Structure 1
Amino acid sequence: MDGFIETHSTSGDADSETRRIDAFMMSVLKSRFEAIVREMTLVVMRASRSAVIKNARDFSCAILTYEHELVTVEDALPIHVMSMDLATRPLTDLFDDIEQGDIYINNCPYTGGTHHADLIMAMPVFVGGKPLFWVVALSHHADTGAPAPSTYLPFAKNIFEEGMHFPAVRMARNYKEKADILRIGAMRNRVPDLWMGDVRAQIGACRTGERRIMDLCERYGTDTVLGFIKDWFDYGARSAKAAISKLPAGRYEYETRHDPVPGVADEGIPVHVAIEVDPIAGEILVDVTNNVDCVPGGLNLSENTCTGSCRIGVFNNLPESVPHNEGAKSRVRVRMREGSAIGKPKYPVGTSVATTNVNDRLMVAGDAVFSGMGAPYGRAESAGHLPAGVGVISGADPWKNGKGYVNQIFVGYGGGGAVHGHDGWLTFCGSANAGLIQLDSVEMDESMYPIVVERRGVIPGSQGFGEFEGAPAMGGVFYPLDHDMTIIYAADGTHTPPKGVLGGGAGGASASIRVTGEEKEALPAFSEEVIAAGQKIEFAACGGGGYGDPLARDPARVAGSVNRGWLDPEAARAVYRVALVPGGEPGIWSVDREETARLRAA
């Protein structure tokens, strides 16, 4: 029997009213730490070379204490930072000679990483000869030297079929790069120049963060800064406890299912989440022990992504005023099982898709489980990450003497699920980033890679209907110029699209299609395909699920969806029982209130 694991941060005192610094200084230092992370973020974005980082912004920066407690994140992807401590803790376990000027890299799920494509770089910050903080820059790299030209490998059974792993490795000493370590990474990479540039962008971000924290401690005094950290964690714990105390007590359960993947999970992968809410103690336990064993492929979660995703579901259902710091995290416990696909993986199973797919399903289950409390709680299911519009493309560029290229594109992605009071977020992409991944500029993609984006846009009627609608999906067509392009994608939601909650409808399903002249060929949902010169790939992402009874939707909102082109008037009448008539301008519809009242009464 595989063992249970429970994570529980103990930092922060939810009952402490002790103040170490005054309220004004608290506000000043909070903003200063946020500004440091923002500056680190700008360094990564401006200095990186690969499109997945500088265009789509698949990276995050953070500051932790030297004891691995989360201090500050700004504009970071949720999946990268809500369990960042798991990636830095091995450093103090494995190294007893950490010094100023060291830099460490970790992209191995078996030493606390998310998945092998996310290179996590951490640098200790010494002040007065003592280590006080870690500055961290995490970037998703375009290539990691896997057998297939992708960083997402659902069919890779173990880490030996994935790309290179750096299991908590020192790559700089006394501010000097270790050339041998970088040689290993560059040699195993299809685009070594891009890889090296992206790594050095992370180094620049860490060095920037180190300097700014040193300056901060010099200006305000180390004791004041450390006093702020303790007060900040106490405030986070009090805020989270107060928010949880307003939730209905009880145990709530929810289950969703990842699509079948032939040879890996022929029946799909059920994802079950249970939460226990204790409003008196101000704590929530997220229990994912009741899930299947690891599967023979890359869909297994890492301990890092499982822990972070369980926390994300909770924080998505708390007020946004609750800070995302170690104190707030202390009010959320996570219980998982070793050897489970939704838990801690057992070496050496594959985890290359641990930040998307099954992980997306875990996060949407963590959102939706709160709907068991009834309105206004919870959220409908959202789309996942990897339709063909978010695939990894590669080939030999005919305009650059056949030079190879490989990169993940973000041409079009899925919609967010609805919440009480709000329709879903159109540019959601997936729960792991919650809208922070940016949609690629068509012009930038076409200038960097030998492809043409023929069209992309919203797919009308693909939203989950409800009192509050899920966001519609995006779809489009793109193709290679004068060469054969390989695309690798993992389009979950083709068979089981995102579900609605509390009476809401499901979002539209994903689809992947090869276009050859006038012929269209449906492609597998999880595949590596060669799109030959003269062919095109067409895709549809998933729409988000709806929240609540469609007949409770405000007729004005229905008219708004029609006027945006997301719904036709016939569907408005059939689904929402809302009658529309031409308005005062061409193409604009208005609500026929009398006919609508008659339809809804019937």
Structure 2
Amino acid sequence: MTEETRFDPYMTAIIANRIDGIVREMTNTLLRAARSAVINSARDFSCSICTADDQLLASAEGLPIHIFGSHMQAAAMRQAHGDDLKEGDCYLHNDPYTGNTHAADHTFLVPVFFEGEHLFTTVAKAHQADTGNSLPTTYMAGAKDQYAEGSLIFPSVRIQRDHRMIEDVVRMCRARIRVPDQWYGDFLAGIGAARVAERRLKELCAKYGRAQIKTFIRDWLDYSEQRMVQAIKKLPKASLTRSGAHDPFGELLPDGIPLKVTVAIDPDEAMVEIDLLDNPDNVDCGFNESEACATAASIAGVFNSIDPTIPRNSGSFRRIRMHLRDGAVCGRPKFPHSCSVATTNIADRLVNLTQSAMAQIGEGYGLAEGGIGLGAGMAVVSGLDHRFGDSRYINQLHLGSSGGPGAPQADGWPTYGIPVIGGLMYRDSVEIDELKHPIEVRYLRLKTGTGGAGRQRGAPALEFEYGPKEHPMDVLWPCDGTHYPPKGVRGGQDGVRARHFKIATDGSETELPNIVVDKLFKGERVRGHHTSGGGYGDPLDRAPAKVLKDVLDGFETVERAERLYGVIFTGSLDQRTLAVDAEATAACRQARSS
């Protein structure tokens, strides 16, 4: 060992924070430079840094569904190009069969060289407003296969050499994508984010030297693994199984898609094994998981249930062993089955099943199931904008949010999004959406009395209503949770199902199915709500003061407070004199318990 190769905890911490800072600079670059609202308003993107041997090193605040597979894409880039990787290259990758999530996530990879050696790969992944699908959406739920899906696929395609753009790829995308100028702005922003990290990593290497940087990589990943070992050793030995199902989809999937996750915990070996083998074959629609999504979603459920300070990288991943099956709906997909909706619906169920399975260990472990479903509040909308010469627009909304799950020590977050997001994205600004698109949002609000009841309750559902201002507007969404709501755990109650309605110009309403491909004309609107989160623990154990606050804040109703929580009030809600009747509450709860 030399001074440069000996483990130094202080230097390891310093460089680790510097690396995280670089990832955050990538994030700010993409957030501020992108043109589409799905990126610069909703923040549907993630940035990360991988090592030259394809290990995830750092991801800062990346979305779990995005970044837990970054190393797979770095490996795909190296496998495709081998010794032809050069300084100044940049690659575009969106192939779900070789490490990407789904076709709508365009990923920009830059190999970073220092003193002639490939040391890092920077990764910037961003969900696109449009990718050339046969329908104006990036979620083709009804696509029988990748051909019907229609998206342009780039399996680690070189888009820059010697820092110069390869214009052939740009022309291909401009010719196919519905909003070429908007896409090109996002394209440049993604490349810019990866290039910013390249410059900063070179500066870091110049400051500390190549040997010190290699030592850091080794020590940081080993440290992360040791943190994971310590966390797993605190868990009891267990084999946990949890089953659920994705919603039906017409005649294609009349009973939905049954799903099963088994989590085996071995504290002696400090290993967690996640078994997805006992699941159906690929389905003839867009709900198939890519390998990256099946892995990322399951791993996210484990990380949600343990020490949150453990670094999320390939070091800690060493202590999780995945069991996947080729040709399975949540395994390794068999070409050409479509993975268009891989980042959300089935993936959300896998996060939920894994973290709720962990709750079977005992009190204080795991989480309830979080709200699911890309409903109307997350629809892809498109059409012509009368304000700008009938120019074309297309974007995925992020107005809506599903309710977060109850946890051992906390209520669910209202800004949760969906399980694969876990509160890390932004909810759209209504004002920005109305500025960017010819859309009118009538309201956006929490729906009182919808959160899954529990000692720690799930967050309530979010309801909304919107419609076009002038020209017809296409609306498409692949919602889950309209049939099978998120489940509570350890005595907690389930969340509510998602529901959506189309409102005609005369005010009449028609309830919509879960998978929607429709058009709204002037005067028509869509209203509805997404699912809420499940509760954690017995509702009768919730502190009466918390129930009172929920009622006063509009999260709960007086009727549900008594019926579900056994809390009796005196006074008036309207006059703000409501108070807990402690004696009556204790008697009510005692009667319910016995």
Partner of 2:75: 89
Q: In the alignment, does 2:113 pair up with 1:126?
A: yes
Q: In the alignment, does 2:491 pair up with 1:503?
A: yes
CA distance in 2, matches of 1:385, 1:51: 20
1:511 positional shift:
0.8
CA distance in 1, matches of 2:418, 2:556: 23
Contact 1:114 1:305 in 2 (8 A): yes
1:84 positional shift:
1.2
Contact 1:385 1:429 in 2 (8 A): no
Q: In the alignment, does 2:11 pair up with 1:22?
A: no
CA distance in 1, matches of 2:44, 2:100: 15
Q: Map residues 234-383 of structure 1 onto 2, 5 A cutoff.
A: 234-383=222-371
Q: Map residues 217-232 of structure 1 onto 2, 5 A cutoff.
A: 217-232=205-220
Q: Map residues 570-589 of structure 1 onto 2, 5 A cutoff.
A: 570-582=559-571, 586-587=575-576, 589=578
CA distance in 2, matches of 1:28, 1:236: 15
Contact 2:5 2:211 in 1 (8 A): no
Contact 1:45 1:57 in 2 (8 A): yes
CA distance in 2, matches of 1:287, 1:324: 20
Q: In the alignment, does 2:57 pair up with 1:74?
A: no
Q: Map residues 98-113 of structure 1 onto 2, 5 A cutoff.
A: 98-113=85-100
Partner of 1:141: 128
Q: In the alignment, does 2:87 pair up with 1:117?
A: no
Per-residue deviation, residues 31-64 of structure 1 (Å, max 9, x unmatched) = 1101100101111000000000000000000000
Distance of aligned partners of 1:583 and 1:153 in 2 relative to their CA distance in 1, 3 Å threshold: same
Partner of 1:494: 482
CA distance in 1, matches of 2:509, 2:565: 33
Q: Map residues 446-461 of structure 1 onto 2, 5 A cutoff.
A: 446-461=434-449
Give the residue type in structure 2 aligned to 1:59.
F
1:483 positional shift:
1.3
CA distance in 2, matches of 1:380, 1:373: 13
Partner of 1:595: 584
Give the residue type in structure 2 aligned to 1:144.
T
Partner of 2:534: 545
Per-residue deviation, residues 109-163 of structure 1 (Å, max 9, x unmatched) = 1121100000011000000000000001000000001110000011001111221
CA distance in 1, matches of 2:5, 2:575: 62
1:585 positional shift:
9.7
Q: In the alignment, does 2:494 pair up with 1:536?
A: no
Partner of 1:154: 141
Per-residue deviation, residues 528-558 of structure 1 (Å, max 9, x unmatched) = 0111111011021000001111111111111
Query: 1:501 is paired with a residue of what secondary structure?
Result: coil
CA distance in 2, matches of 1:439, 1:383: 15
TM-score, length-scaled by structure 2:
0.97
Give the residue type in structure 1 aligned to 2:312.
H
Give the residue type in structure 2 aligned to 1:333.
R
Query: 2:324 is paired with a residue of what secondary structure?
Result: strand
Distance of aligned partners of 1:128 and 1:458 in 2 relative to their CA distance in 1, 3 Å threshold: same
Q: In the alignment, does 2:35 pair up with 1:49?
A: yes
Q: In the alignment, does 2:162 pair up with 1:174?
A: yes
Q: In the alignment, does 2:467 pair up with 1:463?
A: no
CA distance in 1, matches of 2:121, 2:156: 14
Per-residue deviation, residues 453-495 of structure 1 (Å, max 9, x unmatched) = 0001001111001111001010010010011111001121111
CA distance in 1, matches of 2:524, 2:574: 41
Distance of aligned partners of 1:90 and 1:600 in 2 relative to their CA distance in 1, 3 Å threshold: same
| Count of matched residue pairs | 585
Per-residue deviation, residues 289-327 of structure 1 (Å, max 9, x unmatched) = 000000000000001101111111111111011111211
CA distance in 1, matches of 2:6, 2:321: 27
CA distance in 1, matches of 2:251, 2:49: 41
Contact 2:376 2:477 in 1 (8 A): yes
Per-residue deviation, residues 421-472 of structure 1 (Å, max 9, x unmatched) = 1111111111111011211111100000000100010011110011110010
Query: 1:381 is paired with a residue of what secondary structure?
Result: coil
Contact 2:49 2:122 in 1 (8 A): yes
CA distance in 2, matches of 1:186, 1:111: 24
**Unaligned residue ranges in structure 1 (runs of 5+):** 1-17
Contact 1:155 1:264 in 2 (8 A): no
Partner of 1:559: 548
CA distance in 1, matches of 2:493, 2:451: 8
Q: In the alignment, does 2:522 pair up with 1:568?
A: no
CA distance in 2, matches of 1:530, 1:312: 36
Q: Could you tell me which of 386, 408, 413 is aligned with 1:398?
A: 386
Per-residue deviation, residues 228-276 of structure 1 (Å, max 9, x unmatched) = 1111011101000000011110211001111001143221011100011
Report which stretch shifted further, 581-590 or 179-188: 581-590
Give the residue type in structure 1 aligned to 2:314.
E
Contact 1:562 1:589 in 2 (8 A): no
CA distance in 1, matches of 2:313, 2:292: 16
CA distance in 1, matches of 2:182, 2:352: 33
CA distance in 1, matches of 2:212, 2:368: 44
1:582 positional shift:
3.0
CA distance in 2, matches of 1:256, 1:584: 39
Per-residue deviation, residues 543-580 of structure 1 (Å, max 9, x unmatched) = 00011111111111111110111111121111111012
**Unaligned residue ranges in structure 2 (runs of 5+):** none
Partner of 1:4: none
CA distance in 1, matches of 2:48, 2:36: 21
1:583 positional shift:
7.7
CA distance in 2, matches of 1:50, 1:398: 18
Q: Could you tell me which of 521, 524, 527 is aligned with 2:510?
A: 521
1:584 positional shift:
11
Query: 1:111 is paired with a residue of what secondary structure?
Result: coil
TM-score, length-scaled by structure 1:
0.96
The percentage of counterpart residues that share the same residue type is 38
Give the residue type in structure 2 aligned to 1:473.
A
